[in-house]
Protein backbone atom coordinates (compact mmCIF):
# COMPACT_ATOMS: atom_id res chain seq x y z
CA UNK A 1 0.00 0.00 0.00
CA UNK A 2 2.87 2.36 0.77
CA UNK A 3 4.31 1.75 -2.69
CA UNK A 4 0.92 2.50 -4.25
CA UNK A 5 0.54 5.66 -2.18
CA UNK A 6 3.90 6.76 -3.55
CA UNK A 7 2.44 6.46 -7.06
CA UNK A 8 -0.58 8.53 -5.99
CA UNK A 9 1.67 11.09 -4.30
CA UNK A 10 3.55 11.60 -7.58
CA UNK A 11 0.27 12.21 -9.44
CA UNK A 12 -0.88 14.74 -6.83
CA UNK A 13 2.48 16.51 -6.72
CA UNK A 14 2.47 16.84 -10.50
CA UNK A 15 -1.07 18.28 -10.49
CA UNK A 16 -0.12 20.81 -7.79
CA UNK A 17 3.01 21.89 -9.65
CA UNK A 18 1.11 22.30 -12.92
CA UNK A 19 -1.58 24.36 -11.18
CA UNK A 20 0.97 26.59 -9.46
CA UNK A 21 -0.04 26.01 -5.84
CA UNK A 22 2.52 25.89 -3.03
CA UNK A 23 2.84 22.17 -2.14
CA UNK A 24 4.24 22.74 1.35
CA UNK A 25 1.16 24.63 2.63
CA UNK A 26 -1.72 22.31 3.35
CA UNK A 27 -4.89 22.31 5.41
CA UNK A 28 -5.22 18.83 6.90
CA UNK A 29 -1.55 18.02 7.43
CA UNK A 30 1.01 20.09 9.31
CA UNK A 31 3.31 22.43 7.46
CA UNK A 32 6.74 20.96 6.85
CA UNK A 33 9.88 22.58 5.49
CA UNK A 34 11.16 19.20 4.33
CA UNK A 35 11.15 19.08 0.53
CA UNK A 36 9.89 15.49 0.45
CA UNK A 37 7.14 16.09 3.02
CA UNK A 38 4.75 18.58 1.51
CA UNK A 39 1.45 18.82 3.32
CA UNK A 40 -0.75 19.95 0.42
CA UNK A 41 0.35 16.89 -1.55
CA UNK A 42 -0.80 14.69 1.34
CA UNK A 43 -4.05 16.64 1.59
CA UNK A 44 -4.84 16.07 -2.06
CA UNK A 45 -4.13 12.36 -1.73
CA UNK A 46 -6.88 11.78 0.82
CA UNK A 47 -9.95 11.75 -1.51
CA UNK A 48 -8.15 9.40 -3.92
CA UNK A 49 -6.54 6.87 -1.57
CA UNK A 50 -9.32 4.42 -2.37
CA UNK A 51 -7.83 4.04 -5.88
CA UNK A 52 -4.75 2.47 -4.33
CA UNK A 53 -6.68 0.49 -1.70
CA UNK A 54 -8.85 -1.04 -4.41
CA UNK A 55 -5.82 -1.80 -6.58
CA UNK A 56 -4.18 -3.67 -3.69
CA UNK A 57 -7.31 -5.76 -3.09
CA UNK A 58 -7.60 -6.52 -6.82
CA UNK A 59 -3.89 -7.42 -7.02
CA UNK A 60 -4.23 -10.13 -4.38
CA UNK A 61 -7.65 -11.36 -5.45
CA UNK A 62 -6.55 -11.71 -9.07
CA UNK A 63 -3.33 -13.49 -8.11
CA UNK A 64 -1.10 -10.79 -9.62
CA UNK A 65 0.43 -10.47 -6.16
CA UNK A 66 0.95 -13.24 -3.63
CA UNK A 67 2.90 -13.77 -0.43
CA UNK A 68 5.82 -15.36 -2.27
CA UNK A 69 6.38 -12.02 -4.09
CA UNK A 70 7.56 -10.42 -0.84
CA UNK A 71 10.79 -10.81 1.09
CA UNK A 72 12.21 -9.48 4.34
CA UNK A 73 15.47 -7.51 4.44
CA UNK A 74 17.29 -7.91 7.72
CA UNK A 75 19.53 -4.87 7.26
CA UNK A 76 16.71 -2.33 7.54
CA UNK A 77 13.87 -4.58 8.80
CA UNK A 78 11.58 -3.90 5.88
CA UNK A 79 9.44 -6.02 3.61
CA UNK A 80 10.00 -5.52 -0.10
CA UNK A 81 8.60 -7.19 -3.18
CA UNK A 82 10.12 -8.64 -6.32
CA UNK A 83 10.75 -6.43 -9.35
CA UNK A 84 8.46 -8.39 -11.68
CA UNK A 85 5.66 -8.36 -9.09
CA UNK A 86 6.20 -4.64 -8.65
CA UNK A 87 5.73 -4.11 -12.39
CA UNK A 88 2.51 -6.17 -12.37
CA UNK A 89 1.24 -4.04 -9.51
CA UNK A 90 2.12 -0.78 -11.29
CA UNK A 91 0.35 -2.00 -14.42
CA UNK A 92 -2.76 -2.71 -12.36
CA UNK A 93 -2.62 0.76 -10.75
CA UNK A 94 -2.28 2.36 -14.18
CA UNK A 95 -5.28 0.37 -15.36
CA UNK A 96 -7.30 1.68 -12.41
CA UNK A 97 -6.19 5.29 -13.05
CA UNK A 98 -7.10 4.91 -16.73
CA UNK A 99 -10.62 3.71 -15.95
CA UNK A 100 -13.17 6.32 -16.88
CA UNK A 101 -15.60 8.17 -14.66
CA UNK A 102 -18.30 10.61 -15.72
CA UNK A 103 -17.77 14.14 -14.46
CA UNK A 104 -19.45 17.33 -15.69
CA UNK A 105 -20.76 15.68 -18.82
CA UNK A 106 -17.43 14.13 -19.77
CA UNK A 107 -15.77 10.78 -19.18
CA UNK A 108 -12.40 11.46 -17.55
CA UNK A 109 -9.51 9.31 -16.41
CA UNK A 110 -8.68 9.55 -12.72
CA UNK A 111 -5.36 11.31 -13.26
CA UNK A 112 -7.31 13.97 -15.17
CA UNK A 113 -9.83 14.17 -12.32
CA UNK A 114 -6.98 14.85 -9.88
CA UNK A 115 -5.77 17.72 -12.05
CA UNK A 116 -9.33 19.06 -12.39
CA UNK A 117 -9.83 18.99 -8.62
CA UNK A 118 -6.50 20.72 -8.04
CA UNK A 119 -7.50 23.44 -10.48
CA UNK A 120 -10.85 23.80 -8.70
CA UNK A 121 -9.00 24.14 -5.39
CA UNK A 122 -6.85 26.91 -6.87
CA UNK A 123 -9.95 28.75 -8.14
CA UNK A 124 -11.51 28.48 -4.68
CA UNK A 125 -8.39 29.79 -2.91
CA UNK A 126 -8.09 32.76 -5.26
CA UNK A 127 -11.77 33.65 -4.86
CA UNK A 128 -12.77 32.81 -8.43
CA UNK A 129 -15.35 30.34 -7.12
CA UNK A 130 -17.20 30.24 -3.81
CA UNK A 131 -17.78 26.50 -3.66
CA UNK A 132 -15.41 23.55 -3.45
CA UNK A 133 -16.64 19.97 -3.82
CA UNK A 134 -14.45 16.90 -3.42
CA UNK A 135 -17.38 14.48 -3.26
CA UNK A 136 -17.86 14.39 -7.01
CA UNK A 137 -17.20 12.48 -9.11
CA UNK A 138 -18.47 9.59 -7.06
CA UNK A 139 -17.50 6.26 -8.65
CA UNK A 140 -19.82 3.28 -8.77
CA UNK A 141 -17.87 0.25 -7.63
CA UNK A 142 -19.54 -3.02 -8.53
CA UNK A 143 -18.28 -6.52 -7.87
CA UNK A 144 -19.04 -9.08 -10.52
CA UNK A 145 -18.76 -11.96 -8.05
CA UNK A 146 -21.22 -10.72 -5.42
CA UNK A 147 -23.30 -13.14 -3.36
CA UNK A 148 -26.41 -12.11 -5.31
CA UNK A 149 -24.78 -12.81 -8.66
CA UNK A 150 -23.32 -16.12 -7.48
CA UNK A 151 -26.79 -17.16 -6.32
CA UNK A 152 -28.26 -16.08 -9.65
CA UNK A 153 -25.76 -18.21 -11.56
CA UNK A 154 -26.24 -21.29 -9.38
CA UNK A 155 -30.03 -21.11 -9.72
CA UNK A 156 -29.93 -20.50 -13.46
CA UNK A 157 -31.61 -23.43 -15.20
CA UNK A 158 -30.43 -24.95 -18.47
CA UNK A 159 -33.62 -23.70 -20.16
CA UNK A 160 -33.03 -20.15 -18.95
CA UNK A 161 -29.40 -20.32 -20.05
CA UNK A 162 -30.46 -21.55 -23.48
CA UNK A 163 -32.95 -18.70 -23.73
CA UNK A 164 -30.14 -16.26 -22.93
CA UNK A 165 -27.91 -18.02 -25.51
CA UNK A 166 -25.39 -19.04 -22.87
CA UNK A 167 -23.63 -22.26 -24.00
CA UNK A 168 -23.74 -25.35 -21.77
CA UNK A 169 -19.98 -25.31 -21.18
CA UNK A 170 -20.11 -21.63 -20.21
CA UNK A 171 -22.95 -22.35 -17.80
CA UNK A 172 -20.96 -25.21 -16.27
CA UNK A 173 -17.88 -22.97 -15.85
CA UNK A 174 -19.97 -20.21 -14.33
CA UNK A 175 -21.55 -22.57 -11.80
CA UNK A 176 -18.14 -23.92 -10.83
CA UNK A 177 -16.79 -20.41 -10.25
CA UNK A 178 -19.94 -19.32 -8.39
CA UNK A 179 -19.60 -22.21 -5.89
CA UNK A 180 -15.92 -21.50 -5.32
CA UNK A 181 -14.79 -18.99 -2.69
CA UNK A 182 -12.28 -17.41 -5.08
CA UNK A 183 -13.14 -14.11 -6.81
CA UNK A 184 -13.92 -14.21 -10.51
CA UNK A 185 -14.84 -11.91 -13.38
CA UNK A 186 -17.44 -12.28 -16.08
CA UNK A 187 -17.05 -11.72 -19.78
CA UNK A 188 -18.92 -8.50 -20.58
CA UNK A 189 -21.53 -10.05 -22.90
CA UNK A 190 -22.32 -12.83 -20.40
CA UNK A 191 -22.61 -10.27 -17.61
CA UNK A 192 -25.08 -8.26 -19.66
CA UNK A 193 -27.17 -11.37 -20.35
CA UNK A 194 -27.31 -12.28 -16.66
CA UNK A 195 -28.16 -8.69 -15.80
CA UNK A 196 -31.19 -8.85 -18.04
CA UNK A 197 -32.55 -11.89 -16.22
CA UNK A 198 -34.78 -11.54 -13.17
CA UNK A 199 -34.92 -14.74 -11.13
CA UNK A 200 -37.86 -15.42 -8.89
CA UNK A 201 -37.06 -16.39 -5.27
Q: Output the pTM of the full model.
A: 0.68
Q: What is the CATH number of the domain that holds 73?
A: 1.20.120.920
Q: What is the pLDDT of residues 153-197, one digit of tens each?
A: 888 888 888 888 888 888 888 888 888 867 677 766 777 777 665
Closest CA to 40 of 31, 48, 49, 52: 31
Helix, strand, coil % in the chain, rounded to nearest 5: 55, 10, 35
**Is residue 65 in a domain?**
yes
Q: What is the pLDDT of residues 68-107, one digit of tens each?
A: 888 887 777 777 888 898 899 999 899 888 888 888 888 8
For residue 137, cis peptide bond before it (omega within 30 degrees of 0): yes
User: Domain range for residue 60?
Assistant: 2-125
Q: Residue 165 in contact with residue 187, Cβ under 8 Å?
A: no
**Is residue 201 in a domain?**
no
Pairing of strands 78-81, 70-73: antiparallel
The verdict on 39 and 89 lying in the same domain is yes
Pairing of strands 100-103, 106-109: antiparallel
**Is residue 130 in a domain?**
no
Amino acid sequence: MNYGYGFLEAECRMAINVTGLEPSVGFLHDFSDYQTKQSLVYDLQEPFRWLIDLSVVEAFESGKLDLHDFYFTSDDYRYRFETKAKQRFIDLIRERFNSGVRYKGRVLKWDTVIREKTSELASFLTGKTSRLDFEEPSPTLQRFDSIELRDRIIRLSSEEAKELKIPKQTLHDLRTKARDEQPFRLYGKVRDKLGSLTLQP
